[in-house]
């Protein structure tokens, strides 16, 4: 099915590893033009090559720390300067270290979690609103999390993702009159599909078992109606639907759980 995303100008934050990589691959298969913004330049360059092999019309890598002032604007500017605008923003940059709320007392950890998960989404959204308003259309997709609804060992992380949901819905209300749609995808647990799916700066670089081991995954699956974990490809499919004006022209401010039914918000 033609989603109307051929040559679409797409900015994906945190696009080098795991979910972000899957999203970049999906837009590539549609023939989109992609700005891949990530702190891990080496991994981003690898994914850029993969995207071109999968059919991307063009790929631009913008390497930098999106928590630094001006970096999100630089990424958006690359799309505008190179292709004349931005059609889609995917706010995917994220990071977490699981921990019980009573034990996670590291304030630096809290700050890093807030800055990567929430501040980057604010900055990237603000960076694309101007170009999208000028062209009278645009789609912003925020990658939140099932943890936004309250999950064990995800207190601080979940709080930042709940903030992302509020930001997305406010954006939808404020900018719908400009033709800008804003929606949220909440993935379930997405385990990287192999070592090539993550770079050295990914939260998964410490090893899968140090982030979410098999016993924890099985515990989660007991409450998952479909009985399987979510893949990066699953998440990317929802993102493409929301990015496509052809498929979701009248969809804004909505939240989609892609978790096999683990939550049903």
Q: For 46-90, write each residue's pLDDT tens digit.
A: 999 999 999 999 999 999 999 999 999 999 999 999 999 999 999
The Cα–Cα gap between 231 and 264 comes to: 18
Cβ atoms within 10 Å of 49's Cβ, excluding its own: 11
Count how many residues are written for the chain. 265
First to last CA, the chain: 28
Proportion of the chain in helix, strand, coil states, percent, rounded to 5: 50, 15, 35
pLDDT band at 209 (very low <50, low <70, confident <90, very high): low
H-helix segments, 115-154: 120-135
Cα-flanking dihedrals φ and ψ of residue 202, to 5°?
A: -75, 150
pLDDT at 98: 86
Q: What is the pLDDT of residues 224-242, one digit of tens each?
A: 999 999 999 999 999 999 9
Q: What is the pLDDT of residues 91-132, one digit of tens each?
A: 999 999 888 999 999 999 999 999 999 999 999 999 999 999
pLDDT at 80: 98
Q: Among 256, 47, 4, 28, which residue's Cα sits nearest to residue 142? A: 256
The Cα–Cα gap between 176 and 260 comes to: 30
Q: What is the pLDDT of residues 23-34, one digit of tens each?
A: 999 999 999 999
Instruction: Yes or no: say if 44 and 15 are a contact pair by the CB < 8 Å rule.
Output: yes
Q: What is the pLDDT of residues 176-189, one digit of tens each?
A: 999 999 999 999 98
Mean model confidence pLDDT for the chain: 94
Instruction: Yes or no: say if 215 and 208 are a contact pair by the CB < 8 Å rule.
Output: no
Residue 80 host element (H or E): helix 71-83
Strand order in the sheet with 88-91: 58-63, 33-38, 9-13, 88-91, 138-143, 180-187, 255-258
Q: What is the pLDDT of residues 242-260, one digit of tens each?
A: 999 999 999 999 999 999 9
**Does the structural domain 9-258 have CATH classification 3.40.50.720?**
yes
Check pLDDT > 90 for residue 213: no
Averaged over 132-149, what is the pLDDT?
Answer: 96
Cβ atoms within 10 Å of 175's Cβ, excluding its own: 19
Catalytic positions? 157
Domain locations along the chain: 9-258
């Amino acid at each position: 099915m033609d989603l109307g995303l051929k040559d679409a100008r797409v900015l994906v934050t945190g696009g080098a590893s795991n979910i972000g990589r899957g999203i970049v691959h999906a837009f590539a298969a549609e023939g989109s033009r992609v700005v891949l913004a990530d702190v891990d330049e080496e991994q981003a360059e690898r994914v850029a090559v993969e995207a071109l092999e999968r059919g991307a019309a063009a790929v631009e890598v913008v390497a930098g720390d999106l928590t630094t002032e001006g970096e999100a604007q630089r990424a958006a500017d690359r799309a505008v300067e190179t292709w004349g605008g931005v059609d889609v923003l995917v706010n995917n940059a994220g990071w977490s270290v699981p921990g019980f709320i009573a034990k996670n007392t590291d304030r630096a950890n809290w700050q890093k979690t807030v800055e990567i998960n929430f501040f980057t989404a604010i900055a990237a959204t603000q960076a694309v609103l101007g170009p999208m308003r000028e062209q009278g259309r645009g789609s912003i997709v925020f990658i939140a999390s099932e943890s936004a609804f309250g999950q064990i060992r995800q207190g601080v992380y979940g709080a930042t993702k709940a903030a992302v949901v509020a930001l997305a819905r406010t954006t939808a209300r404020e900018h719908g009159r400009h033709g800008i749609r804003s929606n949220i995808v909440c993935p379930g647990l997405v385990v990287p599909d192999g070592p090539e799916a993550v770079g050295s700066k990914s939260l998964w670089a410490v090893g899968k078992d140090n982030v979410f081991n098999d016993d924890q995954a099985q515990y989660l699956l007991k409450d998952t109606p479909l009985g399987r974990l979510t893949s990066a490809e699953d998440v990317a499919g929802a993102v493409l639907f929301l990015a496509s004006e052809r498929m979701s022209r009248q969809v804004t401010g909505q939240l989609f759980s892609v978790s096999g039914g683990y939550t049903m918000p």
